[in-house]
Structure 1
Amino acid sequence: MGILSRTSYVIRSKINSVLNRTEDPTQTLDYSYEQMRDQLQDVKRGIADLTTQKKRLEMQKRRLEDNVDKHNEQARTAVEQDREDLARRALEKKKTKMNQIEDLERQVSELQSQQDRLIEQKDELQSRIEEFRTKKETMKARYEAAEASSTVSEAMTATGEEFEDVGRAIERAEEQTEDMEARSAAMDELHESGAFDDVLSDKDNIDRELEELSTDSGVEAELETLKSDVGADESESEPVPETAADEDELEDLDTDVSDANVSDEEVESELAELQDEEN
């Protein structure tokens, strides 16, 4: 196979592949059906033309037959008038007309045979067209059903191009959401663990915890002072006899206050030692 032949073959194969992808079977079937109907119309026109020609020959044949009768009468009249020469001439014309009639009859017979064949072909073609029409409608219905089923299947399985794009967009959104959730959880964990110190402060976690303890101790001490003041005011305004249970509660309260004071002194002592060490 030469270069030109191979090139031509490749080009034809490429064109055929493109046509196969762009071809719509339903349109092809409709076009084929219309072509067959056009052929049937051509056959019908051919039959009509042939029949018209045959009728012309038959009309010409009838005129010749009339002439034959006329020449026959002329010959008879000429014989009766002893004009043999006229009779001979009339018979000669009659013979010529009869020869023409025979030729026309042969032509009419041939045209009739052609007409019969064309009518048979027309009937066969018409039957094939009707059969093709039934198959065409069946094939179109099957193709449309298959196309609809394929579209639904692509939608259900998300294999179409548009659904593939939607699926990829959903996957990207899920990945980005998971990344953001993981980052947020990591930041919360690092913040709770104190891994990230406040950039606006030079205090570390120990300093903040010590401040919280000092604040809590100060609040407790102030609360105890308020309780003592309130108790003193109540005792001055309305003396109430103390019972054994009340004495026990007061002893417990005094013990808690003394314990709280000792704890504050210990914390202050440790803080002083730590400050001395740092200095």
Structure 2
Amino acid sequence: MGILSRFKDIMASNINSLLDKCEDPEKMIDQYLRNLESDLGKVKAETASVMAEEARSKRELDESAQEIVKFQKYAEKALTSGNEVDARQFLEKKQQAVAKQTSLQQMYTMSSENATKMKQMHEKLVKDIGSLNSRRDSIKMKVQVAKTQQKLNQIGSSVAGAGNNLSAFDRMEDKAEKMLDEANAMSELNQVGVDNDIVNLQAKYDTEPGSAAVDDELAALKAQMGL
């Protein structure tokens, strides 16, 4: 589950590196989207791995439940045949399987929670990338308009004089700040907060049951079967 703790650092690193290049917003948005696509690949691979772990844990838990039922049936058959020694062995195996089932349940619960978090992160990143792609053309168009206006202002400044030069630069500064604000807002959209805390379940069985528990269950089984 390293990606859960690393993802915030990945996003922060992308944002910081792009802000360092904010003198060219057009290149910045393209680079930012490339970085997000790279992050999406990492999240997708990790999500697939966590989902596979969830499936494996569920399969082992189901197999454990089947074992418990199997040993119960063998114990009953042994008693029906009048062989208490064999019945006791099967019941011991059953109790061991019950203790193992508790640990498997804990593992499945944790892997299921992790898989849910990874899927949520993947879905959010896909949604954010789609949103930014739809806004990219608009942002780049504004940048091009700003660059064209800058050229016009430079030409006009040679004719209009120093006063006009100052006014033109003021307008360009406002435009540049607006573009930077938009880029920063885009960066904030992709900050992903992930709760890394996983609730650990308390084990139901701290120790394996002893022979006394087997004796009690054997007596109960015999009473149930009328033996």
Structure-1-length-normalised TM-score: 0.45
2: CA distance, partners of 1:74 / 1:97:
14
* Greater RCO, 1 or 2 (C-alpha within 8 Å, sep 6+): 2
Correspondences of 1:181-260 after superposition (within 5 Å) = none
How far is the alpha carbon of 1:156 from its aligned partner?
Answer: 6.2
Correspondences of 1:21-32 after superposition (within 5 Å) = 23-32=23-32
Aligned to 2:105: 105
Aligned to 1:61: 61
How far is the alpha carbon of 1:113 from its aligned partner?
Answer: 1.3
Q: Secondary structure at the match of 1:82?
A: coil
Which amino acid is the alignment partner of residue 52 of structure 1?
A
Structure 1 68/20 Cα, relative in aligned 2: closer, same or farther at 3 Å?
A: closer
Q: Secondary structure at the match of 1:56?
A: helix
Aligned pair count?
A: 141
2: CA distance, partners of 1:71 / 1:100:
14
Aligned to 1:119: 119
1: CA distance, partners of 2:142 / 2:82:
89
1: CA distance, partners of 2:133 / 2:141:
12
Structure 1 48/75 Cα, relative in aligned 2: closer, same or farther at 3 Å?
A: same
1: CA distance, partners of 2:142 / 2:34:
20
Aligned to 2:86: 86
Q: Secondary structure at the match of 2:82?
A: coil
2: CA distance, partners of 1:157 / 1:105:
75
2: CA distance, partners of 1:36 / 1:102:
40
Structure 1 130/103 Cα, relative in aligned 2: closer, same or farther at 3 Å?
A: same
Aligned to 2:143: 143
Q: Secondary structure at the match of 1:112?
A: helix
How far is the alpha carbon of 1:146 from its aligned partner?
Answer: 1.6
Aligned to 1:223: none
More helix by share: 1
2: CA distance, partners of 1:81 / 1:146:
92
Q: Deviations over 1:41-65 (max 9, x none)?
A: 2222222111101111122222222
Structure-2-length-normalised TM-score: 0.54
1: CA distance, partners of 2:22 / 2:32:
17
2: CA distance, partners of 1:103 / 1:21:
51
The gaps in structure 1 that reach 5 residues or longer are 1-18, 160-279
1: CA distance, partners of 2:31 / 2:105:
43
Q: Deviations over 1:130-189 (max 9, x none)?
A: 333334332211111221233345456668xxxxxxxxxxxxxxxxxxxxxxxxxxxxxx
Which amino acid is the alignment partner of residue 29 of structure 1?
I
Which amino acid is the alignment partner of residue 43 of structure 1?
V
Structure 1 20/157 Cα, relative in aligned 2: closer, same or farther at 3 Å?
A: farther
Which amino acid is the alignment partner of residue 32 of structure 2?
S
How far is the alpha carbon of 1:26 from its aligned partner?
Answer: 1.4
Which amino acid is the alignment partner of residue 123 of structure 1?
E
Q: Deviations over 1:195-224 (max 9, x none)?
A: xxxxxxxxxxxxxxxxxxxxxxxxxxxxxx
Which amino acid is the alignment partner of residue 75 of structure 1?
A
1: CA distance, partners of 2:143 / 2:34:
19
Aligned to 1:177: none
1: CA distance, partners of 2:88 / 2:73:
12
RMSD: 2.6
Q: Does 1:51 align with 2:51?
A: yes
Which amino acid is the alignment partner of residue 140 of structure 1?
K
Q: Secondary structure at the match of 1:138?
A: helix
Alignment check: 8 A CA contact 2:29 2:136 kept: yes
2: CA distance, partners of 1:125 / 1:22:
23
1: CA distance, partners of 2:127 / 2:54:
26
Aligned to 1:199: none
Structure 1 116/143 Cα, relative in aligned 2: closer, same or farther at 3 Å?
A: same
